Structure 1
Amino acid sequence: MLKLSVASIISNIQAEVPFETVSEDYSFRLKIAEYAPYICGAVHDGHQFRKSLWENCLHSAYDRWYEEDPCTREMVQSHPIVIAGCDSRFEYDLNRAPETAIYTDAWGKQLWKNPLAEEERNHSLQKHSNFYKVVQALVQQIETKYGKAIVFDMHSYNWKRWDREVPTWNLGTINIDNERFGKVVASWCHRLGQMQLPNGIKSTSRINDTFQGNGYFLKYITQNFNNTLVLATEIAKVYCDEYEGILYPEVVRSVEDQLKELIPLQLKEFQESI
């Protein structure tokens, strides 16, 4: 895998060069096997947390892992275009706007022993900025090439913390054009609900049940591109034991294998109906 600067990554995209890279600061990964009309994203997949922050952080590595979205890149890794964060959302959150991307507290617990130094904040915000420079170039290239694009924005959530029954899959749609894309969303929801998962795991799907799709990745793309649909797709963490920190690789692989079939079907429907 190449290590490239943001400028080189953008240059490759604009020239439609197939490549796989990690950014030169190791903050995100990008694979473009071909310039297909869809993109898979996993902005919360990362767990890296730079060493200069360790002593000042009140959250443990497990605390951070619990709120991250492990394996979401793996679930879509076989698709032609995949962009994923490598750093933990506790360092800076790619799914929040720059002004709120660095937490002071997280899920009711103070994050830092002492306020972050300006140098540390700027370091994190530069990573955030670099990621979105590449997102801008990537979506621009795909939308220009095909006239429209679809982005599968993959996330996961901790289902055991809820005191009611929650879906295996949740789609967040309040920040997209539902009048235009509502039928595509409904069919994606239906397809996800038909998944057959191992270990007797039931697959159910709902729209705007646990989350509504308020993430910055979706908002940024939706506000900057008129013909790109972002499907904020959250899987409950049925693919791990969220309390013990144990992953179930057979469930991750099952999701990946089925998404190999379902995502192209959804793309075809999107292309024919929009």
Structure 2
Amino acid sequence: MGLLPRLIDSHCHFDDTRFDQDREQAFQRAREAGVTSQIIAGVKAEWWPRQKQVCRDYPGLYPAYGLHPMFLEDHRPQDIERLVSWIEREQPVAVGECGLDFFIEDPQPEAQQALFEAQLELARHCRLPVIIHARRSVDQVFNALKRFPGLKGVVHSFSGSEQQARRLIDLGFLLSFGGPITYERAKRLRSLIQRLPLESLMLETDAPDQPDSQHRGERNESAYLPTVLQTVVELRNQPAAEIAAITSKNAVQLFNIPPNDES
């Protein structure tokens, strides 16, 4: 196993209840696959305590706390104030997962926008990066980010155009990619992997969601990150060790976490 490139899963939900039955085994499978660190993105306030505990229980897991746009009905007006206190007390590596999702039924764009910008302001105040969810909303996300100059972060599971990608990169943002790039039909995404600078990319699973083509219909997990890596290797025709090293360095620098090692 020592010959495997060391990887960072830059976006995962390892606290999800779908891991309750085999979380220890799933964690060990990830380590054996070379995934030594995971960024655990927050979704809603009632889950933050569970997320905090999981990150304490497993080495190399780092929490980000946020309010996800797809769970608008679960959020309460006081949750932003709760988020402020959680961030001040717990010192997470990022704010998020936050953002905009205009694919869902009844998206309530104004409410989403207000929630998103409140978290952007919080991230700027706390000098933390943001983890952004942008589904059918990349232009609106970009326009919001322009109002917060100097903010850093990542648009996870990026699904926009090359022009949109380069505009975000010019703002100083990273883009992360996971299982969707492993599907041959995802020609636009796969072209992005070939054309964008590796210094602006990270790898992710979004586990337990968005499994790769080898695990279609199954629960996703961080142990499958090498499949994403191998797809990038094939698309870019670059060595796996080089891609793993650069994408992991990007995550270390963005999230200010310890270098990717076995500790």
TM-score by length of 1: 0.30
- TM-score normalised by L of structure 2: 0.31
Give the helix-richer structure, 1 or 2: 2
Structure showing greater radius of gyration is 1
Give the structure with the higher percent strand. Answer: 1
